[in-house]
Amino acid sequence: MPRFAANLTLLFTEVPMQERAAYAARAGFDGVEVLFPYDLPVAEWDKALAGLPLVLINTPPGDWISGDRGFAARPGDEATFRDGFLRAADYATRLGGAQVHVMAGVAKGPQAEATYAENLAWAAAQAPDLRLCIEPLNPEDMPGYFLNDYDQAARIVTDIGCDRIGLQFDLWHAARLHGDPSAVWDRYRDQISHVQIAGFPARNEPGGGGFSLPALCDAVDAMENVWIAAEYRPARGTAQGLGWLTALKGRSQPIG
């Protein structure tokens, strides 16, 4: 059985962030991920995690309200990216070695791709004990985001040639970008190092969209150190919508 992580940025928002990991543990999750953990110091996170592993964080995005979405692919922002990455690597290392999603930022063109590849290679060299991943994001939810295609992402990972850099497969974004997330999974599964799930098309509780979650669980179970993270917007209270988790862990009913 694969391990399931709760995205604490989106789930259990009924309680303060410091209490969400404990709620996730009681609900049956095996670990957690957090989009941007930087509002709390490491010592507070260490206490708040309630014994659950932190499996994924993102690099600092910059000023989100002003439109920043990371800096790794932005020519001229190399210093900003590198300072932010070192902060992310420090958090990840001190909190148990979480994988770091390197956010590309709003950019376009060949120079942006070259900058992205250079920054990714630099980041891997700076954090030899950490795994990194990159994730294509759909333009409706993330306008102008540089990385918006799995073919492009896979090529960048292949060209860098570091086995500690993988792809983050998000069911929601894959479906929005390419229409058939199953085809994306089948084509790139050997490069995938982290999985996120949500329902389609509403991005609520996982299920739907023609993608078999039990089959995904079986595939991930055969992979090394890959987690399935719940990154969705609950339709109502988080705890009231966790039948999908019970079903996938017990396989008591079909889902998706």
Question: Tokens 């979480």 belong to which residue?
Answer: 98
Tens digits of per-residue pLDDT, 211-220?
999 999 999 9
> Which band of pLDDT confidence, cut at 50, 70 and 90, is reported for residue 252?
very low
Structure tokens at 213: 């979650």
pLDDT, mean over the chain:
95
Q: What pLDDT score was predicted for residue 50?
A: 83
Over 70: is that where the pLDDT of 255 sits? Answer: no
Q: What pLDDT score was predicted for residue 53?
A: 97
Q: What pLDDT score was predicted for residue 1?
A: 86
Tens digits of per-residue pLDDT, 93-151?
999 989 999 999 999 999 999 999 999 999 999 999 999 999 999 999 999 999 999 99
| Mean pLDDT on 15-33 | 97
Residue 33 a catalytic site member: no
32 beta partners: 6, 54
60-79 b/e with 16+ CB inside 10 Å = b? bbbeeeeebbbbbbbeebee
Cα 8–252–14 angle (5° rounding)?
A: 25
Handedness of CA 64, 68, 69, 70 (dihedral sign): negative
| Mean pLDDT on 245-250 | 92
> Which band of pLDDT confidence, cut at 50, 70 and 90, is reported for residue 92?
very high
33, 113, 135, 205: which one is catalytic?
A: 135
Helices 243-250 and 213-221: crossing angle, nearest 10°? Answer: 50
| Mean pLDDT on 74-80 | 98
Percent of the chain with pLDDT over 70: 98
Higher confidence at residue 102 or residue 51? Answer: 102
| Mean pLDDT on 34-60 | 96
Residue 135 a catalytic site member: yes
pTM equals: 0.95
3-state secondary structure of 200: coil
Over 70: is that where the pLDDT of 256 sits? Answer: no
Domains of the chain, each with CATH number or no CATH: 3-250 (3.20.20.150)
> Which band of pLDDT confidence, cut at 50, 70 and 90, is reported for residue 251?
low
